[in-house]
Structure 1
Amino acid sequence: MASFNATIRSFENDLWSYYLAIPKPIGASFIEGDDRRVICTIGEAAPIHSALMPKGDVYSIYVKKDFMKKNGLSEGDEVSVTLEKDRSAYGMPMPESFQVLLDQDADGSSYFHALTKGKQRTLIHLVGKVKNVDSQLAKGLAIMHHLKESNGGLDFKRLNVLIKEYNNRN
């Protein structure tokens, strides 16, 4: 674990908004092979599961606009930061509703676990970003349906159509 102060900076592009500049020696101490996943706590805010991304002479951790707004943060703020190695199975919290579906559907689980870690996190995020458990279950069921229908492939346009269909069933 490492604690230090960092400045919130703005990217000079439209793809990402803000990041924390993490000094290279601190960031490098958390990298294990290809694994750059960390849990970052900014001040008293809820932890962020993230990856250390190389950016010039520092590492960066992306900070979303909604996180900034929710926590009253602005570009240029100096904040206290605590980093710890993320040793979770997926590099982010798994919604209980989605884990139940994976536990109950061997074929869907097999296809899910054959995906890259990044694609797994994308699907976990899709389920976890909604707080309503019924909506999480609908999304999870649609994801499992899609993975089995496509033999483990991911077509996000088709998946979005399935998610809408499953949401309308409720």
Structure 2
Amino acid sequence: MLKSPVFEISVTGDYHSLILSQKIVEPFIKKKFKRVRAVAKFEGRELTFHAAIQKIHGQYCMMFGKRYQKELGIFPNDIFKLQFFEDTSKYGVEVPEEFEAVMLSDYDAYQIFESLTDGRKRGLIYTITRYKNSQTKIDKTLLLCENLKRGIRDPKELFKS
């Protein structure tokens, strides 16, 4: 499995992104891995997340939003450690057990879900992941399944009853 060395970095610019060294990302880019699993460490805390390596204005970067910053306990310009790993997950994001169980129980909805773009699938999974309560995750996934089968594709409408 491809992995980067551990390197130090800080949140810069708009305070939601990381500017990445070409040396660090080059092995991933050469193998056409645009998405990575990342492990960030700061003062005894550890955070694992999935992210996309993007090239913007000639620089490689990745989003590192306030939610991750808060969870890791860092502020802009704090230096923390980061390491990338090849992302071997199916969707480029961790899938909640509740989501997977509901999808496996509804083949028609699963087929429709699988026909969506990778980015749309990740977005829907992220939406479910944000719910803390297990029953809410189940309920929202059931609603998603019903709306997919009804032909709704607008992400803003997929979680409405």
The one-letter amino acid paired with 2:62 is: I
Q: Is the 8 A contact 2:7 2:83 kept in 1?
A: yes
TM-score (norm 2): 0.88
Structure 2 counterparts to residues 60-75 of structure 1, below 5 A: 60-75=61-76
Q: Measure how far apart 1:119 and its partner are.
A: 0.4
Alpha-carbon distance between aligned partners in 1 of 2:56 and 2:154, rounded to the nearest angstrom: 31
Q: Is the 8 A contact 2:144 2:159 kept in 1?
A: no
SS in 2 for 1:9: coil
2:9 aligned to which of 2, 6, 11: 6
List per-residue Cα deviations over 1:49-102 (Å, max 9, x = no partner): 000011334311211112212322111122111111111001010111111111
Q: Is the 8 A contact 1:24 1:57 kept in 2?
A: no
SS in 2 for 1:155: coil
Q: Measure how far apart 1:141 and its partner are.
A: 0.5
Alpha-carbon distance between aligned partners in 2 of 1:147 and 1:83, rounded to the nearest angstrom: 34
Q: Is the 8 A contact 1:50 1:61 kept in 2?
A: yes
Change in CA separation of 1:160 and 1:100 when aligned onto 2, cut-off 3 Å: closer
Q: Which residue of 2 aligns with 1:165?
A: none
Q: Which residue of 2 aligns with 1:134?
A: 135
Q: Is the 8 A contact 2:129 2:137 kept in 1?
A: yes
**Number of aligned residues:** 154
Q: Which residue of 2 aligns with 1:144?
A: 145
Q: Which residue of 1 aligns with 2:104?
A: 103
Give percent identity, aligned residues only. 25
SS in 2 for 1:83: strand
Q: Which runs of 5+ in 2 are unaligned?
A: none
Q: Which residue of 2 aligns with 1:50?
A: 51
Q: Which residue of 1 aligns with 2:39?
A: 41
Alpha-carbon distance between aligned partners in 1 of 2:159 and 2:100, rounded to the nearest angstrom: 20
Q: Is the 8 A contact 1:53 1:61 kept in 2?
A: yes
Change in CA separation of 1:66 and 1:105 when aligned onto 2, cut-off 3 Å: same
SS in 1 for 2:125: helix
- Work out which structure has the larger RCO, using CA pairs closer than 8 Å and 6 or more positions apart in sequence: 2
Indicate whether 1:117 and 2:118 are aligned: yes
Structure 2 counterparts to residues 81-92 of structure 1, below 5 A: 81-92=82-93
TM-score (norm 1): 0.84
